[in-house]
Amino acid sequence: MNRILKTVVFMVLSFHMLHAGQFLLPAEAFKPYAKVNDKEQIEAGILLGKKIYVYEEKVNVSLVKGSGITLLEKVSPQSVKHHDTLVYLKSPKFILKLAKEAGVTGMQKVTLNIAYQGCSDDGICYEPAEKSFTLQVNSDKLGKAKALPALNLDAKSEKSETDTIADTIKNGNIFIILLTFFGFGLLLAMTPCVFPMIPIISGLIISQGKGITTKKAFLLSLTYVIAMAVAYTIAGVLAGLFGANLQAALQTPWVVYSFAFIFVALAFSMFGFYELKLPDAFVTKISAKQHGSGFVGVAIMGFLSALIVGPCVAAPLAGALVYIGQTGDALLGGIALFSMSIGMGVPLIVVGVSAGKFMPKPGDWMTLVSAIFGVVMLGVAIWMLEKILDASVIMIMYSVLGIGFALFLGVFERGNHFFKQSVAMIIFIYSVALFIGYLAGSSSMSKPLAFLNKPTLSTVATIQKQANKKFQIVKSVAELDAVLAKNRGKKILLDFAADWCTSCKEFEKITFADPAVREKMNEFVLVRADVTANGAKEKALSQKYGVFGPPAIIFFDTNAKVLESKTLIGYMEPKEFLAHLNKL
């Protein structure tokens, strides 16, 4: 059904634009050919029409087995980068040098297949096509094939997870695509990228005040998730079409400060200092007050949260972006992203409805719940500032927040509820430990007092040093090329990372710090592409290797060639990462 729909749309567009004189029919745009020259070599290629180009990875010139003639060597033309993708802008020509198998003599028929896909600079992309040619080759003029049994011309090359997902969009039924990406979204909902949105949606529901019904909580949550999905879809489509690292653009200091301020403002409204809401006159104009209140603000928060709070790149997202970038099919790619975003939002809807359903009745409990979510909002604001502020500054901010919250809970008040006071005391002790750790120069949130035990501190420092000692930092194509040239004959691991990337920090603190992983990584030259600044040179480096954003890990063989099927996108646990390294 999907293929039929695409074909119909393509035919309609073709008919319309043909009469407008804007683009060529496929037969005029691409003219594949093949012939045998006087050296008994096959010359094959594609004559391209005006403003037409073909994708390098989509062009496949191959012999069909069974004729007794085998491929000895294929000479390919040089491709160029066009719209951040390697293409042939001029008619590509391939030379196939042949050999014969033992016992083959005289004239032999060979079948040559030419597969291709391309686009027009006018913005139209054509369907993939293939053409076969039957040629006569004089085997008496060919040399004998040498050690070719291991060469499988028909075997499909292994693909990375990202490329496999991109192929799912290209070749799958639209309903399967939607279901698959919805499932990807559910899985991504369990990652740290989505966790910060849980207190946000809960806080937004709680901030609606008393009297909120389960139905309204559901509608507000759904509004938040749909706005989030729209934001992901728009950003994803733009990133796929233009190769832009939008997540980096949205992690600039002024954007992070602005959004952190929004959370601080929301927190103080929960503390009762003021009430955040749209003017009544404006609410009355857009809809009845009982139906319109809160929805616009929730939608805005959902839209911004998707772009700024949870900007993680994972394999499903990267696969959709690769598909959009290669085919220009923003519609199908956007639908896949939207479906994935809805999957990510399902747990958030459950959380939002739960927050509305179990709202306490007005009274002291309501005040306490609002205050708790106010503190959570301040915690989210500090979490955001981790991307741009020093770790010691973040530690003191968490310390002050924790001490203040413990005092609010009445940590030293007599006659306080036992459970409430116990929780307050735990928070107070931990927050004081953070403060002492800050004064002592520590930056560890999990072990702020490690400096009191010198052997332990030494051990921690040693582990961190071992985990980070071999990463060479590069920020441009030229710097990376120099490292690759210097380390010819060695396996290379290239880690794309940024200071504002949450998953990159997980790689650093969990996966790369694992003893077994560290030992295995000693077999590689470790290089880190620092794309924090997201300037022109960092963008060029990311675009060269098709990276839409960190975290991404690329592996090179001993000839400095990218092992495309081994590329990793998104965070991976130590055990899985070690298994991946063992396959290299």
Q: pLDDT digit of tens for each residue in the chain (584 aa)?
A: 455 444 444 444 444 444 444 567 888 889 999 999 888 899 999 999 988 999 888 898 988 766 788 888 888 888 888 877 788 999 999 999 888 887 788 888 888 999 999 888 876 788 888 899 999 888 888 877 554 333 333 334 455 566 666 666 666 677 887 788 888 878 777 766 676 677 777 777 766 655 667 777 888 888 888 888 888 788 767 766 665 555 555 566 777 777 778 778 777 777 766 555 544 454 444 333 344 456 777 777 777 777 665 556 566 666 666 666 656 667 777 787 788 888 888 888 887 777 655 555 555 555 666 677 778 778 878 877 877 777 788 888 888 988 888 888 888 887 677 787 888 889 889 888 888 888 887 767 777 777 676 544 444 445 454 544 578 999 888 899 888 888 888 899 999 988 777 778 788 888 888 888 988 988 899 999 988 877 778 888 887 887 777 888 999 988 888 887 788 887 888 888 998 888 87
Q: What is the pLDDT of residue 257?
A: 79
Q: Is 72 within 8 Å of 141 (Cβ atoms)?
A: no
Radius of gyration of the chain (CA): 29
Interatomic CA distance for residues 433 and 264, integer angstroms: 24
Q: What is the pLDDT of residue 20?
A: 46
Phi, psi of 526 (to 5 degrees): -95, 125
**At a CB cut-off of 8 Å and minimum separation 6, what does 385 contact?**
256, 257, 260, 394, 397
Q: Is the backbone peptide bond immediately before 448 cis, with ω within 30 degrees of 0?
A: no
**At a CB cut-off of 8 Å and minimum separation 6, what does 305 contact?**
196, 197, 200, 224, 228
Q: What is the pLDDT of residue 46?
A: 94
Interatomic CA distance for residues 566 and 581, integer angstroms: 9
Residues recorded for the chain? 584
Q: What is the pLDDT of residue 31?
A: 93
Interatomic CA distance for residues 37 and 284, integer angstroms: 80
Interatomic CA distance for residues 449 and 278, integer angstroms: 46
Q: What is the pLDDT of residue 240?
A: 62
**Which domains are present in the chain?**
29-147 (2.60.40.1250), 165-361 (no CATH), 465-582 (3.40.30.10)
CB atoms within 10 A of CB 486: 10
Report DSSP state, residue 66.
S
What is the longest distance spanned by two Cα atoms in the chain? Answer: 105
Interatomic CA distance for residues 75 and 72, integer angstroms: 10
Cα torsion 122, 128, 132, 133 to 10°: value is 20
CB atoms within 10 A of CB 387: 21
Give the 3-state secondary structure of 414-473.
CCCCHHHHHHHHHHHHHHHHHHHHHHCCCCCCCCCCHHHCHHHHHHHHHHHHHHHCCCEE
In 189-294, alpha helices (H): 197-206, 214-242, 246-249, 253-270, 280-286, 289-292
- In 3D space, the residue among 344, 343, 1 whose CA is nearest the CA of residue 172 turns out to be 1
Residue with tokens 């921690």: 460
- In 3D space, the residue among 128, 96, 93 whose CA is nearest the CA of residue 111 turns out to be 96
Interatomic CA distance for residues 110 and 555, integer angstroms: 38
Q: CA of 449: how far to CAs of 354, 392, 394, 439, 460, in Å?
A: 38, 13, 16, 10, 12
Interatomic CA distance for residues 462 and 450, integer angstroms: 13
Q: What is the pLDDT of residue 35?
A: 93
- In 3D space, the residue among 529, 566, 571, 561 whose CA is nearest the CA of residue 245 turns out to be 529
- Pairing outcome for strands 552-556 and 42-48: unpaired
Residue with tokens 């560890």: 444
